[in-house]
Structure formats: structure tokens, C-alpha cells
Structure 1
Amino acid sequence: MIMVLLDGILRLALLLATLWGALALGHRLALPRAWRGLVVALWLLAGSIWLWLAWQGARLGPLAAMAVQMIALLAWWRRLTPAKDLAWAEDVAYLATGDVEGQRLTLHRVRHFDWQTPNAARGGWERRVYDLRRLDSVDLFVSSWGRPGIAHVLVSFGFSAEGAAEEEFVAFSVEVRRERHERFSEIGGFFKQYELAIIAADERDAVRLRSNVRGERVTLYHVTLPPEARRDLLLALVAAANDLERQPRFYHTITANCTTLVFAMMRRIIEGLPLDHRLLLSGLLPGYIHEHGGLVHGYSLHELRRLGDITERARQAHDAPDFSRRIREGVPGWASPDRRP
């Protein structure tokens, strides 16, 4: 019985190693497509041979052969390094670098695109200065496109207005830093295909792109962090972006994405936050936050989701200068102008 179990484990390991190696080579081998396809085919052929021999009862031979292949593959894999200067796509051309002097936060590249289509926009990047003493809110935008559990998360920080001015918001997005010719692939995100980016953007850019241009469903959740934690989270995002500017990292679909990166920061700010499967499925993140008391009290998760669905309001307020105020109408935590949760 034990030998049957060990044979099963061996065959499964050979199968997984074969598939992983083929995907890694297919996504990252720097060869013309035809040559890359040939290498992948040879890898699959070799793995199939070792797997066939294992099914015939051989153990040591297939295991040793695959071990040699994997050692060579992993030696190449570890030498892959993220790039800093490439021909980046326009929407990820700059990272959200910033610095703090006293109570003043300066973000050097805040994106303010006016999107015409999912791939074309007017606008650019600008330097913006924020008074940290006026930081008074954190919101979570969850943008989904119909795939269960899968969504993109934005973290937006609000600064109270001076005089008659509107409250000012800046949204942070952790995403892939694609080259101009690249398209996003969730599978490629497992195989060092993209660098990691932290982008700062105007809400009329980052939110409208998803709700109004891409046609995604966007839900807003007001997060009830204490003032010091709000500030710490904002500065942690800026520090992480500064670090990326100095030392690039690879994006990873699970371990370095829009949810797990922010969670790692929050875990340093709030002790005792447990790991949870919902951290791997961004669309389920609000349930995790609600369970740990991070959303507006007195509402069920279903009510927060229903009242926080801003999709239609965002479309109606498309060109409105007070876009951020209008999408928050009726959202728990933002129900009245003088709210201070």
C-alpha cells in the first residue's frame, strides 16, 4: 500500500514539474516564438518519457532525470531579474513616488487620464501636494468583471477640503507594469512575465476607467481605520512605490498583487490580522475586512455591497467635476456631508 502511494506521489510530481516547466519556458524564454515552441515541445517530450517510465514501474531513473532537468531550469529561472527601464505602457509609465516633509506629502507622478477607450486616453501625470493633517478617510474600491472571486482593488485616501473646495482624493492601484506591446495574462502573472507597479491616480481616472469605460461593476466600501493607521497605510504605499522605483520586483498573481501587498502593509500596522483564503481572491476581500471590524458598523456585508455599488452613479457623473462626491452619495460612512465615522 505504501509503495502504491509513493508511486502515485512520484507520478504526480513528474506531471506537475513537466507542466510548470513548460509554462515557465513558454512565458519567459527569450527566444523567437518558433524556437521557444521547440524548446517547450522538447521539455514536454522529456517529461512525458519520464512519466511513462514511472507508469511502467521505474522509480529512480525518472526521478533522477527530472531532477537534473529541474535543476537546470531553476538555475536559469533564478537568474531572471525584473527590469527597471523598458518601453512601458502609458498607463504604467510612472510609479507613485513621493516624499514627506513634516506634514506635507508630495506625490511626484499622479495620473489624471481622461479615458476614451480601454486603450486610449488623454491627459498625463502631475505633481500633487497633500496635507497629512487633513487625511480623513480611506475607501476600498472593488472592481469586478463577472468572474467569481476575481476583482481588482483600489485604495483611495481622502483629504478634507479647505473653504469651498471639494474634498480631494488620491487612489492607489497595485497592478502589473506592462510593456507597450504586452497584454495582461493571469497565467503569465505566475511566471515572472510582468514587473510590479504601484500607481497613484485621480479617482476620475482610476474609477471611471473601470466603471464607465471597461464596463466593470465597481463597489465602494468605506474603511473605518483610526487616523494613525490611515496615515501609516498611505505612507507605507508611498514607501513601497519608492522601493519599486529603486529596486523593481516581479508581479505575482498570488503573492504580490493588489490584495496581498496591501495586506502585508496592514499586518505591520494592525497586529494579529490572520491569513485567510479571501486574501487570495480579491473579490472576497470585503468579507474579510467586514469580519474583522474594518467596515462601517451596523450594516450587513450584503447591505454594504448593495449600497456601495457606485457603477450607475459613476456613469451618470462621468464628466462632473465633483465626480468623487457624487459617487459617494448614499454609501455607508458617506451618507451625510458632515460624516466623521
Structure 2
Amino acid sequence: MSWLTIAIIFSVIVLLAIVIFMLITNPSLSRNWSPDQFLMPEVSFGEDGKVTIKNIRNINYRTTRDYDLNYYDKEFTLEDVQTAWLAIAPFSGFGAAHAFLSFGFTDGSYLAVSIEVRRKKGRKFDPVKGFFRQFEVMYVLADERDVIGVRTNIIKYDVRLYPIHANIEIIRAVFCDILKRADKLGEEPEFYNTIWNNCATNIVRHVRRFSKKPIPAWSPRYLFPDFFDRIAYRLSILDTELGYKETRKHFNITKQAQTAGPDDDFSAVIRHGLDTKRSEQ
């Protein structure tokens, strides 16, 4: 038997072992989760558009490992939802970034939705392992000071925060759809997947259900979310009339976030000076 034949047989065996492992591995709700991802959000819908969210995260970070865990609940109606924002936080590597959303309410408060790998305690995310059912996915519903502040002020990433140009009914429908999925994952876990179940692809699925824009179901930019805003810009989803490069520069809110004091309205501070078209489509 030639070495080539042996190599082919060995490769087939390894491939079959990987496939079998993936088929018999099931997602779980019961693992030794990282403390900041231990609690899943719970969402209930009442009459007349009333919504109650439990376990909204609001961590006070000193470092990424030293922090105070805080949670609160929120009650509102869907009519209270007024705006939507797209946030992109680039990190190490070409195009590597985290994309997430935030929704604004009539009282001036904001709720961020960050679709993340649900990590076990002491474990770090590995995008390669993300192909092979090694992580569950979760929707973190959090205060903006939590999910934006930790990136700008603790980890020292840049964050761009774009206002979304969309009909208010579409914004509310997308938000409602997101909340339903966030709640469902607390009962029916799913595996994260680097290609088709990541932060960007989930955002796209929610938006495509309600938007008439020709948003592609999949794009290489969904693997490299630092360029995710390019698609949104070309489709006039971002609420701006600036050029693309100027838009990326103008809506970088890193400096504003780093000037926000503990007693400041963080969401108001990071939006100071951001010009938008303030229009609907």
C-alpha cells in the first residue's frame, strides 16, 4: 500500500470521526458558564404591546476579569421603541470585529443586543473551534455602558455606532423578533457557528424578515464584520449623507465613551455631536 493511499485513508477516517462527533454532540443550557454569561434574558409579551425583560445585564467593569455583576428588569410597550443603532467593534486581525444592535426608547434609555458565544468559565473564544460545535450562542441584552463601555474603556477597542435609517414599524418588528429569539434560546439552546450562526448573520436574518431592502442572505463580510457597515451603507440603511470613509470616522464614538464619567448618561455622551438625517423610509 502506497503512502498516498495510507494518507487518503487516514484523512477519510479523521473526517468521519469529526462528522460523527458533530452529529452526536448536542447544545446545552447546563455548563460551567462564565459568570458574566450565566444568566440568560427572559422575555414575556402581554396585552397591548406590553413587554417585560428580565436579566438585562449592567456590569461595572474594572478589568475584564474584575467586575461587579448587576442585572435589572425593564417593562415597556413596543410603541416606546423609537430608534435602532448598529455598533461595530473591530478587534485583532483583518476584518475581525463584533457587530451588535442597540434600540432607543422614548425616555432616552437604550437597550443593547449583543449576539455572542456563550463561554464556559475560563474559556476563550476560538473562531476555528467555532466551526465544530464547541460553543453555544446567546443573546446578551444589556445596558450600553456594559457592552460598549467594556470595549472602549477597558479593552481599548474602537467602536463605531451608526443610526439606522428605517421605518419605525420595521424597527419595532425587528426588535420584537430579536426578543423572541433571545427568550427561546433560554429554553432551546443552539450551537454558535463561525460561518452561519454568528453575530452578523443573526442580525441579517432578523432584518431580512421585515425589510424590503435587497440585503444578501450571506456575504463574506459577515465573516469579517469590520466591513459589515459597507453593506449597510450601500443599501442606505445607515442614517447619514456623508461619504463612506467620512461615515466611519464620524460615527466612531470611542473618544466620547472614554470621557463618560460614572454618573454621566453614557448613552447621551456617546451620541454627542453625531449628525444624522433624522428621516424615515
8 Å CA contact 2:253, 2:270 repeated in 1: yes
1:253 aligned residue: 194
1:133 aligned residue: 79
2:143 aligned residue: 202
Q: Which has the higher helix share?
A: 1
1:111-145 Cα shifts (integer Å, max 9, x gaps): 01111101221132221112211211001111112
Q: 1:229 Cα shift? A: 1.0
**Paired residue secondary structure (1:269):** coil
Q: Is 1:94 matched up with 2:42?
A: no
- For these two proteins, the number of residue pairs brought into alignment is 277
For the pair shown, which has the larger CA radius of gyration, 1 or 2? 1
The amino acid of 1:111's aligned partner reads: R
8 Å CA contact 2:60, 2:69 repeated in 1: yes
1:261-286 Cα shifts (integer Å, max 9, x gaps): 11111111124422332222111011
8 Å CA contact 1:194, 1:250 repeated in 2: yes
**Paired residue secondary structure (1:84):** coil
Q: Which runs of 4+ in 1 moved over 3 A?
A: 61-73
Q: Is 1:237 matched up with 2:182?
A: no
1:293-323 Cα shifts (integer Å, max 9, x gaps): 1012421121211111111110101324311
Mapping of residues 119-268 of structure 1, within 5 Å:
119-161=65-107, 167-268=108-209
8 Å CA contact 1:307, 1:330 repeated in 2: no
- Check 1:340–1:159 CA distance in 2 against 1; reply closer, same or farther (3 A cut): farther
Q: Identical aligned pairs, as a percentage?
A: 25
Q: 1:93 Cα shift? A: 1.2
1:273 aligned residue: 215
- What value does the CA root-mean-square deviation take over the aligned residues? 2.0
Q: 1:223 Cα shift? A: 0.8
The amino acid of 1:230's aligned partner reads: I
8 Å CA contact 1:96, 1:199 repeated in 2: yes
1:191-221 Cα shifts (integer Å, max 9, x gaps): 2221111000001111111000110001111
- Whole-angstrom CA distance in 2 between matches of 1:75 and 1:276: 28
- Whole-angstrom CA distance in 1 between matches of 2:20 and 2:177: 33
Mapping of residues 29-108 of structure 1, within 5 Å:
53-54=3-4, 58=5, 63=8, 66-101=11-46, 102-108=48-54
The amino acid of 1:209's aligned partner reads: V
Q: Which has the higher contact order (CA 8 A, sep 6+)?
A: 2
Q: 1:180 Cα shift? A: 1.0
- Whole-angstrom CA distance in 2 between matches of 1:98 and 1:158: 18
- Whole-angstrom CA distance in 2 between matches of 1:320 and 1:147: 34
- Whole-angstrom CA distance in 2 between matches of 1:227 and 1:71: 49
Equivalent of 1:333, from 272, 276, 279? 276
8 Å CA contact 2:103, 2:110 repeated in 1: yes
8 Å CA contact 1:94, 1:199 repeated in 2: no
Equivalent of 2:257, from 265, 290, 314? 314
1:18-48 Cα shifts (integer Å, max 9, x gaps): xxxxxxxxxxxxxxxxxxxxxxxxxxxxxxx
Structure-2-length-normalised TM-score? 0.91
- Whole-angstrom CA distance in 1 between matches of 2:172 and 2:261: 30
Could you tell which deviates more after superposition, 63-72 or 193-202?
63-72
- Whole-angstrom CA distance in 2 between matches of 1:340 and 1:320: 31
Q: Is 1:118 matched up with 2:83?
A: no
- Whole-angstrom CA distance in 2 between matches of 1:210 and 1:291: 27
The amino acid of 2:140's aligned partner reads: I
The amino acid of 1:53's aligned partner reads: W
**Paired residue secondary structure (1:325):** helix
